[in-house]
Each structure stands twice: as C-alpha cells, then as structure tokens.
C-alpha cells in the first residue's frame, strides 16, 4: 500500500507541473492557432513526462515487487502484477518497451542494488509461453510431470529470486530474422542476452561484441548449472571445436536449439530417392511443384549441393580421412567462380521451382499446391504434425550430398551487459534455467525444434523422446533407433536406443533427432567475409531480377511502335492547334 | 472566450511539420546515401551501376511493363462501367458505386490470399503464369481507384453536348471519340496516375502470388536487406525521378486539354 501512495503523489506533482506549463503558455498566446500548436506540444510533452516518470517510481527501491512488462512476440504486452495494490501502476506501465527501458535506465543510474533488469531478445515463437490445457501435461517414465503454466521467462524470475535471492525483471522481446536482429543492434538497441543463429554468433564474435561466460558458468559441481551438466556431448564437441579469433564458440555461446535442413515431401508423389538429394530443386519431373527458401544462405547451400553433387557423393571423397573438414570447405566455397556458376544454376532453379517462400511452404504442401519443400528440421516436424491433423502424411528426407547443421545459441552482448556482474549472473542463470531438462522439454513440445540439451545424468529428455515417439509395447512393426551420439557422445552406446513404430521412419522422430549417419555428412555454414557476402548478395539479386537481355524482340518492336505512335499523335495535335 | 482567428498560413503548420519530418528530411538522407559510398565519400558509382547492370535495367522494364499492362486493363474495365453507371437512370447510383468500392474495405492481404486460391482453381498451378497473375492481382487491387475518378467525371458530362452531336448528325462512334472521350480525359488521367504509380512498386502482390521476379519495390528492399544502403537509396531516388517526370507529363497533358474544366479528383 505504501508504494501506491507514493505513486499517487508523484502523479499529482507531475500533473500539477503540466497544468502550470499549460496555463502559462495559454495565457501568453491566447486566440491564435500558434498557441494551440504549442498547447498540443505541451500536452504531448506532459504525457510523455507522465509516462516516463511513472515506471521509474513503480520500481521504488524500498518495496519493489517484481513487475513484468514483456511482449509475447506478437506485439501484445503482458502485464503481470505480483501485488494487486499496484494495479494502477501496472495500467500506466503498459507503454511497453519504451517505458520499460526508461525504467531500467533510471534503475542503472540510481540505486542499483535492487531489481536487475535482463533484456532478452529471442526469435519469435521460440519459447514456451505456458497456458497449456490440463490434458497436455506429460507424465514421463522417470516420474517427472511436464506442464507449462506460465511463460518460461516469467517463471525464471521467481526461480532466480528463490535461488539467488535477487529480484530480476525480464524484458522479453523478439526478432524475425538474423539480419533484422543485426540491424537492430547496429542501430543502437540494447540487449543483454540474444539468441541468434550460428553465423551471426560468429560475426558478433569477430566484432568482439560479445561477453565470455564466467568460470562459474562452467562449474559442473554447481547444482544450478543445468547447461554444462545437460548439454549434449555432441553439441558440446561442435561448440568446442569451432573457433573464431582463436577462441572456441563454447566460451561465448551456449546452444539453444539445433537442427538440419532437408526436404519435406509428400510420399504419395515423391519417392524417398527423389527427395533425398538437393537435385530435387532442379528436377524437371517436379517442375513448378517444389519450393525453396527465399533466403540467400539457405538457397545457396542447396544449390551448392546440386552443383557439387558428383564430388560430394563420390566414394573417394566420402571415404577420405579428412572427410568432414573437406566437406566443410566445399560447402563454404565462396570463390567468385563458384558464386557465378551457382548463380547460373539458380537461374534454372528459379524457372523450375514453384516459389521462393519463407513461411507459406508448409501450408502449400498440405493443401497440395506443391509436393516438396526445402525445410528446416524443426519446421518440418511442425508441418508433419499439422498435416496429420488434415489427413495428409508427409515425410522428411536429409539430402545425401550434405546437410546444413545449424544452431541458435545464447550470447551476452557487451553493449547490454556493460560489465555489470549482476546482469551477467542473471543472464547466465537464464541460460541455465531454459536448459533445465523439464524446460527444454516444454520448449521442444511448444516450438517443435530440438533442444541442444540431452540432460546429462537426468533422463527427462530421453524419456520425452520415448514418450513422444516410442512404440507401444504390443506393437510389432518397429525399428530400433540409436541416439547414442547425441545423448552419450558415442555412436555405439547401447543406452539410448528408442524403439519406434515403423511409420516414424523418415518422419517426426528422424527429423527431430537426426541419425548419426545423417549427422556425419552435415556441415556448418560459416560466416562469410564482407567481400564474399557482398558477392553472394549481388548474385542473389541478379538471380531474382529480370534481365533486360531476356526481353523478346517482339516486345521491343511493339514498345517502339507505341512510342512512335504517341509522338506522332502529339505532333499532329500541335500542328492542328497551330492552324486555328 | 473570443472567437478563434486562423490565418491560412497557420492552418498549414501541422502539415508543414509533418512534411518536413517525414518527407523532406528522409529525402535528404536518401540523397546523401545515394551519392556516397561505404566510406562516406562522394561517388557516382551507384548511379552508373544502375544503368550499366542489365538486371537492374531489366527490373525497371519489367516493373514498367507490369504497370502499363495493369493500367490498361484497369482502364478498359473501368471506363465502360463508369460510363454505364453515370448514364444509367438508376435512382440508387450511390449504392452501386459503393458495391465497386466495397472490396477496399476488406484487408488487402486477405483479398489477395483469396485470389490466390481462386487463381489456383482456375489455372491449376500458379507458377506457370507469374506475369498474368500479377496483373490480375494488381487489377483486382487497384480497380476502384480507376472507377471512381472516371465515374465522377462522367457524372458531370453535359448531356446537351451529346444531344447536340447527335442533332448535327454524328453517329455513336463519332460522338464517343469527338465528345465523350475528350471530355473525360481528366478522369482518365487521375485514374491512370492512381493506378500506374503504385503498381510499379507494390511488390506484396507479387510476393503473395509467388511471382519470384523482383520489381522496383522489392529490388530496393533486397539492397537494404543486403546492407547496401547506398545502392538501395540510389534506386529509390531514380524511381522518384521517374515518377516525378511521369507526373509532370500528365499535368502538362491536363493543362493542354482540360484547362479550367475540372472534374478530376487529383
């Protein structure tokens, strides 16, 4: 109650101030429109002052209940008030990000030792927002019940207070593409923790814009360090081995979701053999029935697969001792000649595919407009689930040449953290909290992508896989699927074998958790240097443009004739006018 | 309280402010970017680059062709409709006009999504006729902008002139070309301006109907998403100049032909 009184008082003072400004202005210039303009300005100013001052007071240090002002990614704001007495503040605080930022600025400048503000920016629809139906609760074999009550980032605030004794306020916002996030950062938006894809992580590392994780984060003996304890040995290995500026990724980035790229197809029209190669995008048999991504990096990768098909599938190449290194090199080939050739190839692809799409492919394959669709594994899982509801059965194939192994991971930004150890601690705790096996399962269930967490000693994740995809005991037509590489870091481990019904083959299970075989011919797509990126972008623009040389002669003649006729008509008119 | 006194100048202030903030200032930013390179030095490379690249020139032609065809189709569809409406003896003309304007009340992406399904039903596979689809989509979208100015012009058409032509022995065709058409030129021009200009850049229609070819709007967008702000600004500037020339031409036409006649919406 005390706090709300304080707030009211401040509102009054601010209100009085505004009133005084207003009356002064209107006394001086009565009657002219100028005063109305000024008055309007004053009202706006006053409103801004009012809006900006309230959130600061809302976080008055001595009481300070946790206030959430977050956006759920669809532009709506969710206000969650811990104390009903603060309802008025909450209502005024709806101004969203702007007010929230002001609040945190005020906080940083003033008494800092109270609520930590953590600004998190993640992909849209990339975290469980809770609100599950009761029958959605999952009871896993190990006795754990998974149920999404509230958004994970809100539950984190309570968890953090319980475990660290510090109040934290998460400002959660979203971005749509990596390029968008990068633009936002270049334009000066401040975030503490963001979740970009692999190549943007590399770029940020190159630009030294990220903060390394602290030593405590890697301390496996600490109970709350769910990330280091739970991350899949396979993913850990990839993060350790890849380096930027001579430092491994794992020092700066913690994985969140990962997957492969492949072809989602309708088995009624397309065979597995036809779908399990990138050549499908150029296959005249499926002319105008396949879509690729409207995104230069993904489409370039697929076209490289077509372009280098013979090399990538030759026995000599596949069996070479340094196969994976060479594969990485080939799939990141951005020499000018290759870009030119791939550009030419893409011209043909453009004339063969149905469309370049970003999101509509999933709907189009269900409605039967297309029969195959270049897709990320997580979206493929989602599309297969949706299609089943509509009575369509879709499969997912990983191309034989090579598949793109990708990650999204958490990085802490220097510009946001700005050497504030409390922020860094909260950011690291956030990563650990979303990596807690039950939260990882919630996210996987909600968004369809695959978490990098395998659980370590905790068997929640493997139980979830079994719960989701495992065969019933009396089922006969089954296959054994060994996920040892992911859960134990050992392909031959016998401990992580899922027995799944035969119909799961090449479907959700294999899309969500690719086989060790598929993984063995995957390559990461690196961050290209500026010149190569500019070349590729230009190539892409050229592919999409209409070349003036393609204009048919007939059209030129026709256009010329039209111009001549118009000119003739105008001249004739002028002559007539002169006559009169 | 005394009565308020507004002078004309003062009434214009809000608009002037708006114009300065959101039109003039950004324009200068565009001009700055168009004539500089990444290091901020003055350069004409963006300009020459546009006119030496067959792909950007091709895009200009493609957009132009798309806009011309769309405008022609709109005109051919709208002119008879406008004429019939204006000349009919129906009492509730307003209602019928509203029926033509009604589609504008529905969200445009929704309309195009529906159109996509209809076209798929007719054509089987959209991807074989990208240009045709785009023309249909844009016509669907912009037709009301053509009908309205034509209708208002024709409404003001003096019937006695038509009767005079008839009395003096002109047949229907002659009456149309000698009387009706010249008198409705202001309506035609404002309709053309309202259809032609947006159809050169409205790439959402193309995107939604799966025409993967860039037009001017999407070309500018692609330069910006590739962080090439300088090239993108130059194309935007070139487009602006083209539009300016087009508008000046049509104004000129109007001056010549329909001086003080009025009736056009713009």
Mean pLDDT lowest among A47-51, A556-560, B95-99, B124-128: A47-51
Whole-angstrom distance, CA of residue A206 vs CA of residue A197: 14
Whole-angstrom distance, CA of residue B199 vs CA of residue B195: 6
Estimate to the nearest angstrom the gap between the alpha carbon of A416 and the chain centroid: 19
* Res. A378: pLDDT tops 60: yes
Q: How many CA atoms lie within 13 A of B44 on its CB side?
A: 3
Number of residues that this document lists for chain B: 266
Nearest Cβ partner for B210 among A354, A548, A550: A354
Which tokens go with A402?
Answer: 């090579």
A353 touching B, CB under 8 A?
Answer: yes
* Res. A40: pLDDT tops 70: no
Cβ pair A167, A115 in contact under 8 A = yes
Whole-angstrom distance, CA of residue B147 vs CA of residue A50: 48
> What local confidence, expressed as pLDDT, does residue B266 receive?
37
3-state secondary structure (DSSP) of residue B263 = coil
B15 touching A, CB under 8 A?
Answer: no
- Residue pLDDT, tens place only, B70-105: 999 999 999 998 888 888 877 778 788 888 778 788
Whole-angstrom distance, CA of residue B154 vs CA of residue B161: 13
Report angle CA B239, B245, B247 to the nearest 5 degrees: 100
Q: Kind and range of the H or E element at A70?
A: strand A67-71
Cβ pair A424, A417 in contact under 8 A = yes
For A4, residues 6+ apart whose C-beta sits below 8 A from its C-beta are A85, A86, A88, A89
Which tokens go with A302?
Answer: 């697929």
> What local confidence, expressed as pLDDT, does residue A564 receive?
95
Cβ pair B185, B32 in contact under 8 A = no
3-state secondary structure (DSSP) of residue A276 = coil
- Residue pLDDT, tens place only, A340-353: 999 999 999 999 99
* Res. A371: pLDDT tops 90: yes
**Residues 223 through 242 of chain B touching chain A, CB cutoff 8 Å:** 223, 225-228
Which tokens go with A287?
Answer: 């002319």
Whole-angstrom distance, CA of residue B136 vs CA of residue B130: 10
> What local confidence, expressed as pLDDT, does residue A492 receive?
85
Hey, how many other C-beta atoms are within 10 angstroms of the C-beta on A579? Answer: 6
For A21, A99, A175, A498, the CA distances from A492, given in Å and listed in that order, are: 77, 55, 40, 14
CB contact (8 A) between residue B214 and residue A354: no
Whole-angstrom distance, CA of residue B227 vs CA of residue A534: 9
* Res. A35: pLDDT tops 70: no
> What local confidence, expressed as pLDDT, does residue A65 receive?
37
Which tokens go with A552?
Answer: 């048919």
Q: Kind and range of the H or E element at B101?
A: helix B93-101
CB contact (8 A) between residue A31 and residue B4: yes
At residue A450, φ and ψ (nearest 5 deg) are -105, 125
Residue matched to tokens 């994970």: A152
> What local confidence, expressed as pLDDT, does residue B262 receive?
44
CB pairs under 8 A between A and B: 89
What secondary structure letter does DSSP report for A396?
Answer: E
Whole-angstrom distance, CA of residue A43 vs CA of residue A32: 17
Whole-angstrom distance, CA of residue A498 vs CA of residue A139: 18
Question: Which residue, among A335, A296, A278, has the nearest Cα to A544 in the 3D structure?
Answer: A296
The whole-number average pLDDT for the span A25-40 is 39
Which tokens go with A1?
Answer: 């109650």
Whole-angstrom distance, CA of residue A58 vs CA of residue A94: 12
Find which of B10, B118, B212 to mutate to test the A interface (most A CBs within 10 Å of its CB): B212
CB contact (8 A) between residue A546 and residue B5: no
The whole-number average pLDDT for the span B20-45 is 91
Contacts of A34 in chain B (CB under 8 A): 10, 13
Q: How many CA atoms lie within 13 A of B262 on its CB side?
A: 3
The whole-number average pLDDT for the span A68-91 is 39
Closest residue in B to A349 (Cα) is: B212
> What local confidence, expressed as pLDDT, does residue A442 receive?
94
* Res. A23: pLDDT tops 50: no
CB contact (8 A) between residue A545 and residue B55: yes
Per the prediction, chain B carries an average pLDDT of 87
Cβ pair A402, A333 in contact under 8 A = no
For A218, residues 6+ apart whose C-beta sits below 8 A from its C-beta are A225, A228
The whole-number average pLDDT for the span A316-328 is 92
Question: Which residue, among A264, A511, A271, A503, has the nearest Cα to A370 in the 3D structure?
Answer: A264
> What local confidence, expressed as pLDDT, does residue A403 receive?
95
Cβ pair A46, A21 in contact under 8 A = yes
A35: buried, middle or exposed (CB in 10 Å: 19+, 13-18, 0-12)?
Answer: middle
> What local confidence, expressed as pLDDT, does residue B109 receive?
86
Report angle CA B248, B253, B256 to the nearest 5 degrees: 125
- Residue pLDDT, tens place only, A292-304: 999 899 999 999 9
Higher pLDDT, A377 or A83: A377
Which tokens go with A40?
Answer: 């309007």
> What local confidence, expressed as pLDDT, does residue A191 receive?
95
> What local confidence, expressed as pLDDT, does residue A113 receive?
59
Cβ pair B200, B214 in contact under 8 A = no
> What local confidence, expressed as pLDDT, does residue A524 receive?
93
Which tokens go with B13?
Answer: 């202030």
- Residue pLDDT, tens place only, A512-543: 999 999 999 999 999 998 899 999 999 999 99
> What local confidence, expressed as pLDDT, does residue A309 receive?
94
The whole-number average pLDDT for the span A23-50 is 40
Alpha helices in B202-263 (DSSP H): 203-208, 216-225, 229-257
What secondary structure letter does DSSP report for A400?
Answer: S
* Res. A21: pLDDT tops 70: no
Report angle CA A305, A311, A313 to the nearest 5 degrees: 75
Per the prediction, chain A carries an average pLDDT of 81
Closest residue in B to A353 (Cα) is: B127
Whole-angstrom distance, CA of residue A437 vs CA of residue A410: 17
The whole-number average pLDDT for the span A429-446 is 94
Estimate to the nearest angstrom the gap between the alpha carbon of A461 and the chain centroid: 22
Number of residues that this document lists for chain A: 580
Whole-angstrom distance, CA of residue A323 vs CA of residue A318: 6
> What local confidence, expressed as pLDDT, does residue B253 receive?
66
B65 touching A, CB under 8 A?
Answer: yes
**Residues 535 through 554 of chain A touching chain B, CB cutoff 8 Å:** 537-538, 540-542, 544-551
Closest residue in B to A37 (Cα) is: B14
Contacts of B61 in chain A (CB under 8 A): 546, 548, 551
Mean pLDDT lowest among A105-119, A334-348, A433-447: A105-119
Hey, how many other C-beta atoms are within 10 angstroms of the C-beta on B157? Answer: 17
Residue matched to tokens 């998190």: A120
CB contact (8 A) between residue A545 and residue B213: yes
Helices A336-352 and A296-307 pack at an angle, to 10 degrees, of 100
pTM to 2 decimal places: 0.80
What secondary structure letter does DSSP report for B146?
Answer: H
For A20, A142, B99, B202, the CA distances from B146, given in Å and listed in that order, are: 53, 68, 14, 16
Q: Kind and range of the H or E element at A118?
A: strand A115-123
Q: Kind and range of the H or E element at A352?
A: helix A336-352
Whole-angstrom distance, CA of residue B228 vs CA of residue A537: 9
Residue A77 pLDDT grade (very low, low, confident, very high; cuts 50, 70, 90): very low
Residue A108 pLDDT grade (very low, low, confident, very high; cuts 50, 70, 90): very low
> What local confidence, expressed as pLDDT, does residue B95 receive?
82
Contacts of A551 in chain B (CB under 8 A): 58, 61
Residue A68 pLDDT grade (very low, low, confident, very high; cuts 50, 70, 90): very low
Q: How many CA atoms lie within 13 A of A422 on its CB side?
A: 17
Which tokens go with A206?
Answer: 């190159």
Whole-angstrom distance, CA of residue A68 vs CA of residue A117: 10
- Residue pLDDT, tens place only, B204-260: 899 889 888 999 999 998 898 888 889 999 999 999 999 899 888 887 766 555 444
> What local confidence, expressed as pLDDT, does residue A473 receive?
81
Find the distance separating the first CA and the last CA of chain B, reported in whole Å.
Answer: 39
Nearest Cβ partner for A354 among B13, B127, B228: B127
Which tokens go with B189?
Answer: 């021009």
Whole-angstrom distance, CA of residue B62 vs CA of residue B68: 10
Higher pLDDT, A325 or A61: A325
> What local confidence, expressed as pLDDT, does residue A111 receive?
42
A266: buried, middle or exposed (CB in 10 Å: 19+, 13-18, 0-12)?
Answer: buried
Contacts of A269 in chain B (CB under 8 A): none
CB contact (8 A) between residue B210 and residue A551: no
């Amino acid at each position: 109650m005390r706090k709300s009184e304080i707030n009211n008082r401040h509102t009054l003072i601010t209100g009085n101030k505004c009133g005084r400004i207003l009356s002064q202005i209107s006394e001086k210039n009565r009657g002219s429109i100028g005063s109305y303009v000024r008055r309007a300005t004053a009202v706006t100013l006053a409103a801004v002052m009012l809006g900006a001052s309230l959130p600061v007071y809302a976080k008055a240090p001595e009481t300070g209940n946790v206030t959430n002002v977050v956006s759920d990614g669809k532009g709506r704001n969710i206000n969650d008030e811990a104390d009903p007495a603060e309802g008025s503040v909450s209502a005024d605080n709806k101004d969203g990000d702007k007010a929230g930022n002001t609040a945190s600025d005020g906080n940083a400048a003033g008494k800092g030792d109270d609520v930590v503000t953590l600004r998190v920016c993640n992909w849209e629809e990339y975290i469980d927002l809770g609100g599950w139906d009761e029958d959605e609760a999952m009871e896993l074999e190990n006795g754990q019940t998974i149920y999404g009550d509230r958004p994970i980032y809100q539950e984190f605030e309570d968890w953090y207070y319980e475990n660290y004794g510090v109040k934290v306020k998460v400002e959660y916002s979203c971005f749509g593409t990596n390029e968008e996030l990068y633009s936002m950062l270049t334009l000066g938006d401040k975030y503490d923790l963001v979740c970009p894809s692999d190549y943007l992580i590399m770029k940020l590392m190159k630009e030294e814009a990220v903060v390394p994780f602290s030593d405590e984060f890697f301390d496996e003996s600490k109970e709350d360090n769910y990330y280091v304890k739970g991350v899949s040995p396979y993913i850990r290995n990839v993060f350790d081995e890849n380096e930027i500026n001579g430092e491994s990724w794992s020092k700066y980035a913690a994985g969140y979701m990962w997957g492969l790229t492949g072809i989602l197809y309708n088995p009624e029209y397309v065979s597995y053999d036809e779908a399990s190669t990138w050549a499908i995008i150029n296959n005249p048999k499926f002319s105008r029935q396949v879509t690729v991504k409207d995104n230069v990096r993904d489409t370039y990768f697929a076209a490289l697969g077509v372009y280098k098909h013979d090399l990538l599938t030759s026995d000599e190449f596949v069996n070479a001792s340094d196969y994976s290194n060479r594969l990485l090199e080939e799939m990141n080939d951005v020499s000018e000649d290759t870009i030119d050739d791939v550009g030419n190839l893409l011209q043909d692809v453009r004339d063969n595919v149905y469309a370049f799409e970003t999101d509509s492919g999933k709907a189009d394959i269900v409605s039967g407009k297309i029969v195959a669709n270049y897709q990320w594994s997580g979206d493929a899982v989602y599309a297969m689930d949706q299609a089943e509801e509509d009575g369509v059965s879709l499969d997912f194939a990983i191309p034989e040449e090579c598949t793109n192994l990708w990650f999204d991971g958490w990085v802490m930004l220097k510009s946001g953290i700005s050497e504030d150890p409390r922020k860094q601690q909260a950011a690291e705790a956030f990563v650990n909290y979303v990596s807690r096996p039950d939260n990882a399962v919630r996210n996987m269930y909600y968004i369809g992508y695959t978490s990098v967490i395998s659980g370590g000693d905790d068997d929640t994740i493997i139980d979830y896989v079994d719960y989701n995809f495992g065969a019933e005991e009396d089922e006969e037509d089954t296959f054994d699927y060994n996920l040892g590489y992911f859960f134990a870091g050992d392909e031959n481990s016998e401990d992580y074998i899922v027995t799944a019904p035969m119909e799961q083959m090449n479907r959700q299970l294999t899309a969500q958790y690719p086989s060790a075989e598929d993984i063995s011919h995957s390559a990461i797509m690196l961050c290209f240097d500026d010149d190569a990126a500019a070349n590729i972008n230009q190539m892409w623009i050229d592919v999409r443009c209409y070349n003036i040389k393609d204009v048919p002669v007939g059209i030129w003649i026709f256009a010329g004739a039209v111009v001549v006729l118009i000119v003739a008509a105008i001249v004739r008119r002028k002559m007539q006018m002169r006559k009169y | 309280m005394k009565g308020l006194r507004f002078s004309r100048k003062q009434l214009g202030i809000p608009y002037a402010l708006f114009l300065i903030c959101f039109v003039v200032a950004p324009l200068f930013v565009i001009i700055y970017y168009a004539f500089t390179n990444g290091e901020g030095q003055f350069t004409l490379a963006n300009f020459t680059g546009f006119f030496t690249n067959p792909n950007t020139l091709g895009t200009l032609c493609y957009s132009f062709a798309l806009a011309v065809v769309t405008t022609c189709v709109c005109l051919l569809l709208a002119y008879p409709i406008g004429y019939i409406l204006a000349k009919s003896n129906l009492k509730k003309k307003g209602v019928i006009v509203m029926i033509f304007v009604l589609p504008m009340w529905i969200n445009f992406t929704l309309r195009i999504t529906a159109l996509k399904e209809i076209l798929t039903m007719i054509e089987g596979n959209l991807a074989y006729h990208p240009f045709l689809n785009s023309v249909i989509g844009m016509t669907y979208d912009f037709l009301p902008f053509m009908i309205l100015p034509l209708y208002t012009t024709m409404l003001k058409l003096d019937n006695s002139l038509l009767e005079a032509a008839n009395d003096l022995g002109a047949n229907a065709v002659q009456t149309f070309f000698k009387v009706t058409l010249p008198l409705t030129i202001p309506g035609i021009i404002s309709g053309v301006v309202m259809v032609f200009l947006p159809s050169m850049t409205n790439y959402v229609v193309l995107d939604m109907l799966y025409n993967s070819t860039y037009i001017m709007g999407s070309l500018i967008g692609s330069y910006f998403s590739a962080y090439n702000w300088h090239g993108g600004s130059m194309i935007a500037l070139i487009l602006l100049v083209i539009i300016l020339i087009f508008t000046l031409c049509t104004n000129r036409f109007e001056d010549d032909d329909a001086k003080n006649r009025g009736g056009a919406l713009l």
